[in-house]
Amino acid sequence: MLRYHQVPSCAVGYAQARFGTLCFNQNSTVFKRPNSPVGPKSPNSPKDGCSPSISVFQFPNFPRRTEFSVKSQLFCMLFCIMLGMNNAGMAFTTILWDVDGTLLDFEAPEKAAMQSLFLEYGFGECTDEMVKRYSAINRGYWERLEKKELSKTQILVGRFRDFFQEVGVDSSCAEEFNDKYQERLGDTIVFKDDSYEVVKSLRGMVLQYVVSNATILAQTKKLRVSGLGELMDGVFLSEQVGFEKPDVRFFDEVLKHIQETDKSRILLVGDSLTSDILGGTNAGIPTCWYNPKGLSAKGAVRIDYEIRDLHEIYDIVKPSMK
């Protein structure tokens, strides 16, 4: 078995250039997901690379209830009855999933994308220490986005400009570099725990949606390549919604478009205290902090549930479920 951390970064870069996409499971073991959509897109694939099976809501053009046909409404009623029968005893009917750092590892694709692009731009080797430094700069920028101090465009380009200046490479290409970086993030998929199987096993018991601040370009590719997108009942990306987590208006828009109207039956699962947990709490939605490293919670944000492993979600969603 080949493990991700045993693979030299240059080999990862070469493999990505040669084969396009690498997938790893929770133990960082290289694998090929059964019926994986990895490979050439079908001729019918949309130009933006988003699989037709991913229900990315197009704001503000998401079809309203009155626009559904009678046939569609009858189908929905039947589906609801079946879901109701299947989720008897469930504490929650709906899960809102964060993606980066929750369902998918973010550090591995970040490192692989940075290192392969540094070679492509002739910047030399991007060492692990440099990647760590970039990660710290990146985190700081995202925190400023959550506080509404900067726009999404400012953070996407600004983080690379700062980093390039710090490591002494040409910062004038920061915007173009970011465009390629967004595309490249989806070339390395590393599932957190058994997230694919966890989400798949919950289908039919609860409705599941993605709620993410990532860019449309990066996230639609990651959801398509990982297969997670086709397991979801909908995808909410902040660029489409018009607001970023933890802004309560982001969750207001989500709540307008999902089936469940009782907030107490919706569970938000995410790894970020400042965007997921704070946002969910402000919106009146119960929250579950995914905390695999056992970090101590900072600040006064309320946390309803805390898990170290995604498999623990079963006990929260359906306490009687083993």
Residues that bind Mg ion (CB under 5 A): 98, 100-101, 271-272
Nearest alpha-carbon partner for 115 in 7, 226, 37? 7
Which residues face 188 on adjacent strands?
Answer: 22
- Residue 128 CB, shortest distance to Mg ion, in Å, is 22
Please report where in the chains the tokens 């929650």 appear, as a residue: 92
Nearest residue to Mg ion, scored by beta-carbon proximity: 101
> Residue 187 and residue 180: Cα distance in Å, rounded?
11
Q: What are phi and psi of 170, to 5 degrees?
A: -60, 115
Please report where in the chains the tokens 């990982």 appear, as a residue: 226
- Residue 32 CB, shortest distance to Mg ion, in Å, is 26
Nearest alpha-carbon partner for 303 in 316, 320, 287, 319? 287
How crowded is residue 176: how many other Cβ atoms within 10 Å of its Cβ? Answer: 12
- Residue 226 CB, shortest distance to Mg ion, in Å, is 15
Cβ closest to Mg ion, residue 25 vs residue 275: 275
- Residue 116 CB, shortest distance to Mg ion, in Å, is 23
Cβ closest to Mg ion, residue 56 vs residue 268: 268
Cβ closest to Mg ion, residue 49 vs residue 101: 101
Please report where in the chains the tokens 């970090």 appear, as a residue: 295
How far is CA 181 from each of CA 95, 116, 157, rounded to the nearest angstrom?
A: 29, 9, 11
- Residue 155 CB, shortest distance to Mg ion, in Å, is 15
Burial (0-12, 13-18, 19+ Cβ within 10 Å), 194: middle
Cβ closest to Mg ion, residue 13 vs residue 246: 246
Return the SS3 of 29: strand
Cβ closest to Mg ion, residue 47 vs residue 298: 298
Cβ closest to Mg ion, residue 139 vs residue 256: 139
- Residue 59 CB, shortest distance to Mg ion, in Å, is 21
Contact 28, 3 (CB under 8 A): yes
